[in-house]
Amino acid sequence: MSDSHRQPLWPAYVATYTFMLGQWASGVAVPLQVQLLGGSLADAGLLASVRFGLQAFLQLPFGAVADAWGTRRVLMLAIIGNALVNLVPLVALAMGSVIPLFAWAVLSGVTASLFLPAISAYVAISAPDASRGSAFGWLTLFTHTGVASGPALGGLVWDLGGPMPTYLVSSAAGLAAIVGAVFVAPSLRTTIQLSRLPGMVAEVAGQRAILGAWLAALAIGLPWGAVAGLFPLFGTGVGLAAGTVGLLLAAQSLANGASRVPLGRLIDRRRISPVAAAIGAAGYAAVIALLGFQDGIPGILLVLVAGVIMLAFTLMLVQVTISAVARPELRATGLGGYGTSLSAGLGIGPFVAGGVADAGGFGWGFGVIGGIGFGVALLAAVVLLGVPRGRDPEAEGSA
């Protein structure tokens, strides 16, 4: 695709920020509501596992949906659905039961699975070939600014007004993403041929660079999911207020997002080997294994920020590697597989860590899941060792 025909990138950034703002404002509130309703750490971990686990199953096929229906249609559906989903916990509040929160987890996973591969594929196709790393850097900057602002906003509103205002605000924030989506150019609608999906997946998974990148994403997702699902309870368990917990998560996500643009430029300018993604994933897992042994703000902040910079580098290199190696018509599939791998870890991580933490405390919970993530990162390194990043298929076609 020539630069003159590429679509603008700013609608993706606006839509991504506001979508994540709404999702994570409600996401920080749900574990607190579980505790309010008398649920356990295992309940909170299971909710996060359902939410992220569905993304593991759905992002790959929903990438094919985005290829067939077009980005704009899929984004509109995801955004409207997200705004409605963020109101579901109000049913749990009215019933005094955690059961409706599982409906929130399911539907939140579905809407995110629609949104994430579609927006990533839009950026991969719309960004100039020579600056795709920077484009993904800006996308993730807006993603994690939303992920940072969401818990901060949700924790603040919870402290000031409680559950109901928190979910109303999160719904309104998520719906604001429609402002970006309306400026995404419409595309031709085609028929979804699910019979082609196995062949599409087999083609991208048959490339070592992509398979290893998926494993590196899984290695990141395992400890990251434990942090996302259990950190609000860990933080309040060591005596922090909900607002402070939200601000710590905000600091982590701001460090994540702020590091993505310079990392993207670095990856654009230097042909970094994909095996570096596995090394970054191993470093992140090792750092998160220490989180449960911290009992004060300085130590917690150091672990979160140091770890998330390694996370940022890994996931940036994973996205750029897949975009460079996969054929243009299979980029949504390849990036959907990345989302599936990452979300599989996000789903498994809190379930395992929550169960271990219930039995032995947060030190063991984060330590065990960090160790598992480290092992998966070593497997990714074996697959990626000696594999070059590869040339961009579009660049080859235009050479």
CATH of the domain at 233: 1.20.1250.20
Residue 29: which of 307, 185, 233, 303 has the closest Cα?
A: 233
Residue 372 has pLDDT above 80, yes or no: yes
> What is the predicted pLDDT for the residue at 2?
45
Whether the per-residue pLDDT at 396 is higher than 60: the answer is: no
Task: Tell me what pLDDT residue 349 has.
Answer: 87
For position 197, what pLDDT does the model report?
65
Does 398 fall in a domain? no
The angle formed by the CA atoms of residues 199, 378 and 119, to the nearest 5 degrees, is 45
Q: Give the residue with greater pLDDT, 254 vs 316.
A: 316
Please give the share of the chain, as a percent, with pLDDT higher than 70.
89
In a domain, 192, yes or no: no
**What one-character DSSP code corresponds to residue 385?**
T
Local confidence band at 357 (pLDDT 50, 70, 90 cut-offs): confident
Q: Which CA distances in Å does 324 have to 27, 203, 238, 313, 342?
A: 33, 14, 44, 16, 19
Classify residue 357: in a domain, yes or no.
yes
Q: Of 128-137, 202-211, 295-304, 309-318, where does mean pLDDT reach its minimum?
A: 128-137
- CB neighbours of 181 closer than 8 A, spacing ≥ 6? 11, 15, 72, 75, 76, 79
Residue 139 predicted with pLDDT over 80: yes
Q: Judge if pTM exceeds 0.85.
A: no
> How high is the pLDDT of residue 186?
67
DSSP H stretches of helix in the chain: 10-36, 41-69, 71-85, 89-95, 99-126, 132-161, 163-175, 178-181, 197-205, 208-237, 242-269, 275-288, 297-325, 331-360, 362-384, 393-398
User: What average pLDDT does range 114-142 have in this prediction?
Assistant: 80
Residue 198 has pLDDT above 80, yes or no: no
341: pLDDT strictly greater than 90: no
Nearest-angstrom CA–CA distance, 63 and 35: 35
Q: What is each CA distance from 275 to 35, 212, 249, in whole angstroms?
A: 41, 8, 28
Asked, for residue 241, whether it belongs to a domain, the answer is: yes
Q: Which of 136-145, 207-216, 384-393 has the lowest mean pLDDT?
A: 384-393
pLDDT of residue 394: 41
Residue 28 is assigned to a structural domain of this protein: yes
Predicted local distance difference test score (pLDDT) of residue 217: 94
What does the alpha-carbon distance between residue 191 and residue 199 come to, in Å, rounded to a whole number? 17
Q: Is the pLDDT of residue 242 over 70?
A: yes
* Residue range 279-332, pLDDT digits in tens: 999 999 999 999 988 888 889 999 999 998 899 889 888 888 887 787 766 777
Domain count, the chain: 1
Q: How confident is the model at residue 342 (pLDDT cuts 50, 70, 90)?
A: confident
- Find the domain containing 261 and state its range: 3-186+197-390
Average pLDDT in the 191-215 region? 75
The verdict on residue 227 lying in a domain is yes
**How confident is residue 67, by pLDDT bands cut at 50, 70 and 90?**
low
More confident residue, 155 or 79: 79
pLDDT single digits (tens) 268-294: 777 788 899 999 999 999 999 999 888
For residue 246, how many other CB atoms are within 10 A of its CB?
A: 30
Q: Given this model, what pLDDT does residue 286 score?
A: 95
